[in-house]
């Protein structure tokens, strides 16, 4: 644990005094990606929780939008059979806590929810896992269609404009790793095709609404026959099929990608009709997501080993995929 992590751990311990624990729970550092995660062992009740501390970097890392995220997470846990973390309220009933971290001028925000057991789907079982994921995605989207959020509910919108101009501060793809003149040229052409193919896409309630928006393998937990969904940090409004693009993050070059897509659709259709114009939407949303990830990996070069390890190859491979996309649809 680094000195900063140790100081943050101490502040998390003080934060937990706002909650109804019979005795001070044990706090340990768990992991970090966009946000920091600390594991909470409540030995008195034998329950475990996590504290997620938002990075504060993203445009929607404010108290109002994080509270809205918790609203949907709570509603999914109450209204459906989907396995999601249970939000833990503080003594005053609040879900979102302000937290001052060392070295930061602005406050961060923390939430506490139940720890869920499980592991990412193994590589050799992805086709079966994608069918299960398609089913769960349809269940989430069906809930979103019928759920009436409170008037103060506010979450980001995942449009091509928001993503490609980096309105939500994920990272600008133009500042990705090794974006040279050649890469810039091919990715700009892909960007133009994306805009053209999505400019008239249906945003009616059957095709567009509240989505997870980051439903990749790292956010699935498999425990026996149970699949849990975690990390709703990016949930917002977008095309329902964008959740399929999210599920395919970092997998776009697999030889069996068509099988993964077919499996997801097969699972989805057990619950709901696949949104309209799937053949048009799916490849374009996959390309949109790929550009989004170039920007994210570019920003994270200074923060995450994972981003440093794959950043350059990801850009090279993205350019190849972009050329294929432009040749197919321009």
Give the pTM: 0.95
pLDDT, residue 165, reads 96
- CATH number 3.30.200.20 is the correct assignment for the domain at 3-114: yes
Q: Which two tokens stand for residue 60?
A: 């929607």
pLDDT, residue 2, reads 80
Q: How many Å from the N-terminal Cα to the C-terminal Cα in the chain?
A: 50
pLDDT, residue 274, reads 95
pLDDT, residue 276, reads 84
CATH topology for 123-329 is Aminoglycoside 3'-phosphotransferase; Chain: A, domain 2 (3.90.1200)
Q: Are 240 and 275 in contact (CB under 8 A)?
A: yes
**Residues 186-191: contacts with CB under 8 Å, at least 24 apart:** 186/319, 186/322, 186/323, 186/326, 187/291, 187/294, 187/318, 187/319, 187/322, 189/322, 189/326, 189/330, 190/287, 190/291, 190/322, 190/325, 190/326, 191/164, 191/291
pLDDT in tens for each of the 330 residues of the chain? 687 888 999 999 999 999 999 999 999 999 998 999 999 999 999 999 999 999 999 999 999 999 999 999 999 999 999 999 999 999 999 999 999 888 788 899 999 999 999 998 887 788 888 998 999 999 999 999 999 999 999 999 999 999 999 999 999 999 999 999 999 999 999 999 999 999 999 999 999 999 999 988 888 899 988 889 999 999 999 999 999 999 999 999 999 999 999 999 999 999 999 998 898 899 999 999 999 999 999 999 998 999 999 999 999 999 999 999 999 998
- Residue boundaries of the structural domains of the chain: 3-114, 123-329
pLDDT, residue 136, reads 93
Which residues of 135-264 form beta strands (DSSP E)? 208-211, 220-223, 226-229, 236-239
């Amino acid at each position: 644990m680094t000195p900063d992590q140790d100081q943050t751990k101490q502040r998390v311990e003080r934060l937990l005094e706002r909650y109804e624990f019979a005795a001070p729970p044990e706090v340990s550092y768990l992991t970090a990606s966009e946000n920091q995660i600390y594991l909470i062992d409540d030995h008195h009740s034998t329950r475990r929780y996590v504290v997620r501390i938002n990075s504060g970097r993203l445009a929607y890392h404010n108290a109002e939008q994080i509270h809205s995220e918790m609203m949907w997470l709570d509603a999914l846990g109450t209204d459906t059979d989907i396995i999601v973390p249970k939000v833990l309220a503080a003594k005053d009933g609040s879900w979102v806590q302000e937290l001052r971290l060392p070295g930061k001028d602005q406050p961060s925000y923390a939430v506490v929810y139940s720890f869920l057991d499980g592991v990412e789907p193994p590589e050799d079982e992805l086709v079966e896992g994608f069918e299960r994921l398609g089913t769960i995605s349809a269940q989430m989207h069906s809930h979103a269609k019928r759920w009436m959020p409170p008037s103060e509910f506010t979450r980001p919108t995942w449009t091509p404009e928001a993503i490609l101009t980096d309105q939500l501060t994920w990272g600008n793809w133009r500042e990705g790793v090794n974006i040279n003149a050649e890469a810039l040229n091919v990715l700009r052409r892909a960007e133009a095709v994306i805009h053209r193919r999505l400019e008239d896409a249906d945003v009616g309630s059957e095709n567009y609404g509240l989505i997870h928006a980051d439903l990749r393998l790292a956010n699935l937990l498999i425990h026996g026959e149970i699949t849990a969904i975690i990390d709703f940090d990016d949930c917002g409004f977008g095309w329902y099929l964008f959740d399929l693009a999210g599920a395919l993050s970092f997998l776009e070059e697999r030889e069996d990608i068509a099988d993964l897509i077919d499996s997801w659709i097969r699972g989805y259709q057990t619950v709901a009709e696949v949104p309209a114009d799937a053949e048009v939407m799916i490849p374009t949303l996959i390309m949109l997501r790929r550009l989004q990830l170039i920007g994210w990996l570019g920003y994270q070069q200074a923060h995450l080993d994972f981003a440093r390890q794959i950043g350059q190859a990801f850009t090279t491979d993205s350019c190849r995929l972009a050329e294929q996309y432009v040749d197919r649809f321009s």
